[in-house]
Structure 1
Amino acid sequence: MGKLLALVAAASLLMSGQAVADERVPLIQADPLLTFPSNPRNVDWAQVARNRAAKAQARVQKQGKPPLTHAEREAVGTNGGNDTLAKAERITGFGTQKKVTVTGNLAPDKTIPTVPAFAETNDAIPLASDTGIPGSRPSLRTSGTIGDGPHGSAGDRTGDFDFYRLTGAAGTSVTFETSTPTGDLDTFLILWDDQGAIWSIADNTPGTTDARMTVQLMPGRTFFVQVGAAGAHAFRPTRRSRAPGRVSAPKGRTTCGSPAARATATSTTTRSTCARATCSAVRSAVRARGSRCTTRRAAR
């Protein structure tokens, strides 16, 4: 019966004009090196080695295949072309091939207002520039220069910083980041509260000299973001103004930072606001050698 069916199939192929090919189907055999052959002497071990080498070479060639490339189709400097799942750009072949290189541009978020650079001097907490966040606006983008002003390279050269003031809002997190398209400026960010305590410190993001931090602020509290160049003059939140009640001890003086530049402020408060945690943060983050954090009582 089996032969009869084979003859009928062959006759059908010939009648339709197709040739009957004597195609040998390759056998699928287990790798003898991974099994226990009943008679190892009958195994062609040389052929087994050649098969394994061929499979290994095929894997190398497949892995060494260059990744796909995809150029973003959204016009440079525009938004909205591919900003949602419904408008996502399809990358042909991605999925079959596991790697892809995507090139394109990220345009500035037009929903974030850009404001002019704030005027100097804003080098300390009491002199911080008011961002208006969150009362006047939810966010902003501005520019600035580190090294100008009366304490920059053209002034007394004690170190220039830019401080910005904002207020915490309920249920929201805030992101601060710097961007230095040109030049070798290495920025840092420090978040202070209105008592002169450090909440967060951010230095370089991976692969750049820019800084970025995301924090959850307490509602109703006033906070200050310090922007500066990484170095020995980082921790001086109130040095410029000698403002009371910032980082100080009762009827005394607290110094936090490096010997080259310390934050000094007198106090009229009844308890110290320069906590051990603040001093520990200064010690761990300040880059100058010999940094220290000490509290000294004034002589009675």
Structure 2
Amino acid sequence: MARGETSAFQRDLLFAFGGGDPRITIAVLDGAVDRTHECFRGARLTPLDNGSSFHCPDGDTTASGSHAASVIFGQPCSSVEGVAPLCRGLIVPIFAEDGRGCSLRKLARAIFLAVEQGAHVIDVSGGQFARSERPDPVLAEAIEMCVRRNVAIVAAGGNEGCDELLDLAEIAPVLAVFTLEYYRRRLRSVDPIGMKALVIPGSNIVGAAPEGDVTRRSCANGAAALVAGLVGLLLSRQLRRGAAPDPLAVRDFLLKFAGRHGPSGPRQSCRLLAEREQVQAVVDRMGLGIGDGSIPFPFNLSALSG
């Protein structure tokens, strides 16, 4: 059972911005997900086969995948309440329990698969990725497809992030996410992150654990899942305002206007986002008016069921 203080930023996002919309699809690329966990009861989750075998219900990669998915899709009034529980979810395992990690080609296939199944946002967790001296041409094609199809990729940063994705954080469609804790450890640098990125609190993020349990994790994967859920919420609000969802525009708004610069000011390319009010400022600038009171608290599930 989880112990300790829950992430304040996670609490700020829960139910605060409407819960999402089933017309918006978020793909989670991590380990397998234990969909029998009670927090997923009623969630719109579709598992996709990406060739990752050797799943174990209580293995490390399943624990990671279940935690990330629950941060987004955990249902209201369950043991884990996600930030975008009404959005549709695609579960695309890229890590298995055999310890072989994920090749860049396998990551590319997972991205292709998610886009083909209608993903607006793709959450790529950090883990054991194969290293390559040369850019993978198939991964480059997958990134190009995301640009053409207007799909945002939220990539976990830090020591286990996929370098090939993070190297693309200066351009669409990648939105790199680092934890505030990782950022603070690197503050002696003029630009601790060294790329355009969001930095958010990554400690004590509540999520699902094996065998129906609940845990708190402090990791970039949980932070990236929170941001992927946030992007899904903003896209849902665009739909409810009668506009077409624009994932790459949401990515750009977050990188330009979310939160504040680090201690070195505009010289730093990353943005620190730690409070609900800072998210609200981005929303207001986008003209989405989430704070106008049109969505009741807690949100009305029946209002979105049709």
TM range (shorter): under 0.3
TM-score normalised by L of structure 1: 0.26
Greater share of strand: 1
TM-score normalised by L of structure 2: 0.26
Question: Which has the higher relative contact order, 1 or 2, with Cα contacts under 8 A spaced 6 or more apart?
Answer: 2
